[in-house]
Structure 1
Amino acid sequence: MKITIVSAGKLKENYLREGITEFVKRLRPFAQLNIVEISEEKMPDSPSAREKEKILTIEGSRLLKQVPVDSFLFVLDVYGKQLSSEDLAEKIRVLALSGKSNLAFVIGGTFGLSADLRKKADLLISFSRMTFTHQMVKLLLVEQIYRAFKINRGEPYHW
């Protein structure tokens, strides 16, 4: 299975980078994971609603260009469906059984997501109604993908 994570914004914190590196390494036996980071669009101070949506549309379009063709598209959105770890594992299992070998996860930037990007999602998912930095969400996502593969293989995750 090939999994692509596309995010707006570069990962800057070493502790997050180290955590992601560890889970990417752990995932290698199960899936090929590719992480693509694009630069965030610049947002003016106090933008109007129209300016904000225009910039988010540009950023969303750039994010979508990085999604491999024929991928099942998960978009992480605070208003998305909340899944348990087991729910995510089951979704990945069902997609794999149905022949979907490309999965993509999109994480928006600091200012959120465009309406267009949300509409293109096959599934909008939320980790929580709480707000996390998009960099932190990347670490949580990689960990949850790894956990999903462990669940699907019936292997212990916690000892």
Structure 2
Amino acid sequence: MLAVRLICVGKLGEKFWAEAVREYEKRLGAYCKLEIIELPEQRLPQTPSAGEIAQALDKEAALIDAKIPQGATVIALCVEGKELSSEQLADYLGRLTVTGTSRLCLVIGGSCGLSDKIKARAALRLSMSPMTFPHHLARVMVLEQLYRALNIAAGGKYHK
């Protein structure tokens, strides 16, 4: 069974986000072994300089890097990434498993995004949209699309 680690910078605050995440964790149990890791977002001043942002992203990158399992295929969620349909994501994940990939690591950055170091490590830079979403919503969206893609790959009827 595919082992999936979702690394998220920032904590879920509101109860409704946590409930949505729990629902997809439950659904994904049929398709993968899911682990969600939350890392602290670095504190920044109200109007941070480019240098302060870069320093914060570097600190977050070190924390993220330490949590990426050895041998895992990394997918970085970033606005400049490639946009895929649900079917294309299902195909991508299917090709990974056929080639022997057993560990997948998806990474969602905090409010300032992801460090270039993490993006460079990724086998795929994935964008859900050119629009900006709060990372809480992005987490739910990633889990839903992961569920949808794995269901499609398994020949399920969830996707219409």
Question: Which residue of the partner structure matches residue 83 of structure 1?
Answer: 84
Matches of 1:139 and 1:127, distance apart in 2: 12
| Cα distance, 1:158 vs structure 2 | 5.1
Query: How many matched pairs?
Result: 159
Superposed, 1:103-114 pairs within 5 Å as 103-114=104-115
Which residue matches 2:20?
19
Q: Out of 38-47 and 88-97, give the one that drifted further.
A: 38-47
TM-aligned CA deviation for residue 85 of structure 1: 0.4
What TM-score do you get using the length of structure 2 for normalisation? 0.95
Q: Normalising to structure 1: TM-score of the pair?
A: 0.96
Identity of aligned residues (%): 37
- Whole-Å Cα distance in 2 between the matches of residues 150 and 57 of structure 1? 35
Give the ranges of 4+ consecutive aligned residues of structure 1 lying more than 4 Å apart after TM superposition.
none
| Number of the residue aligned with 2:39 | 38
What's the CA shift for 1:135?
0.8
Correspondences of 1:3-152 after superposition (within 5 Å): 3-152=4-153
Aligned Cα root-mean-square deviation (Å): 1.1
State the Cα distance separating 1:46 from its structure 2 match: 2.1
Which residue identity does 2:153 align to in structure 1? Answer: N
Q: Secondary structure at the match of 1:155?
A: coil
User: Unpaired runs of 5+ in structure 1?
Assistant: none
Q: Is the 8 A contact 1:57 1:117 kept in 2?
A: no
Q: What SS class does the counterpart of residue 87 from structure 1 fall into?
A: helix
Gapped runs of 5+ residues in structure 2?
none
